[in-house]
Amino acid sequence: MIIGIESSCDESAVALFEESSGIVFEEIASQIKLHSEYGGVVPDLASREHVKNFIPLLEHLKCFGTAEAKSIAATAKPGLPGCLNIGLAAARALSLILNIPVVEIDHLHGHLLSPFIQVHGSDPEHFHSNLKEFLPSLGLLVSGGNTILCEIAESLEFTIIAETQDDAAGEAFDKGAKLLGLPYPGGALIEKFAKLGDPKKYHFPRAFPSKLDMKFSFSGLKTSLRYFLEKFNGSIQHHSSDICASYQEAIIDMLSRKVEHALAAYPRCKSLGISGGVSNNETLRSRIFALAERFSKKFICPLPQHSGDNAAMIAFAAYVETLKCK
């Protein structure tokens, strides 16, 4: 059994992973309501809330049972330094109490491996051997802080194929929503309005369209939306659905285009995974699923509760680390 602790940004989370059963306990304390008042995450406030949240979270964890735990997996990077330190401090304190080691986990690895939680759950006993059907795998991580396209090799090592040169796709969604006057976090609201609009009504630029440029960039897209809104002749409110649909289409088109380029360049990959909070966007998920079918790849994705920041993926990533030695 592995205890998982996550605190990289504004989610305080704990979980328990057991090899033969999968995720047996998980709990998240969200700070969205607090930070929505400021239109984004305030690092000092986030750190303060982690201090408050981890006390009851660890109590709940203790009540559920930690006697069989062999290690504690805690997010060590990347993230907000103050927030990361709170989670690591909680892990180290628990380590002294239970006399078990702390394993430091890369937050991005946790996200990229989160689709495999479902694979494990379908057949825990044979998970290690079943991985051969999925590896090497191509993984798209799309969140508020990161946008990465990565290959996961048979050895379970990670190789970055493409990453954002500036802003993440999730940030483009949230800041685009802010420009449109929508409350934080606005990515889900853009998706909601986009369902009612025409994605071809307005054109927004796509960065690095060439297959030779394996990069993402969303900063220019946000700027183009700002200029578009400043010059817009008419009621933005009455055209918000079309604007949201067109803006969302630009983000999704850039993401799916690079995935398509990678699938063509890495034919050895047996599966295609998508992870991160933005992976819950239905249009994006369906577009990536269609690419998986077109290139005859297995499509894998996490459950909604494992798409955003969570401790289950951190505990699971620590478990996968143990498989490298087998």
Residue 161 placed within a domain: yes
Question: The domain that contains 37 carries what CATH number?
Answer: 3.30.420.40
Q: What is the pLDDT of residues 144-169, one digit of tens each?
A: 999 999 999 999 999 999 999 999 99
- Whether 98 and 202 map to the same domain: the answer is no
Residue 126 placed within a domain: no
- Whether 266 and 137 map to the same domain: the answer is yes
- Whether 84 and 190 map to the same domain: the answer is no
CA distance 31 to 44: 12
CA distance 44 to 14: 21
- How much is the pLDDT for 16? 97
- Whether 11 and 158 map to the same domain: the answer is no
Residue 23 placed within a domain: yes
- Whether 105 and 192 map to the same domain: the answer is no
- Whether 247 and 199 map to the same domain: the answer is yes
- Whether 266 and 309 map to the same domain: the answer is no
Residue 274 placed within a domain: yes
Report the predicted TM-score, pTM, of the whole model to 2 decimal places. 0.94
Mean per-residue pLDDT, 61-77: 92
Q: What is the pLDDT of residues 284-315, one digit of tens each?
A: 999 999 999 999 999 999 999 999 999 999 99
Sheet containing strand 147-152, edge to edge, reads: 158-163, 147-152, 137-142, 271-275, 298-300
Residue 124 placed within a domain: no
Largest CA distance in the chain: 66
Number of domains in the chain: 2
- Whether 95 and 180 map to the same domain: the answer is no
- Whether 31 and 167 map to the same domain: the answer is no
Q: Could you tell me the residue range of the domain that residue 183 belongs to?
A: 133-301
Alpha carbon separation from 71 to 16, 26, 77, 262, 322 (Å, rounded):
10, 16, 18, 36, 11
Whether 326 has a pLDDT exceeding 70, the answer reads: no
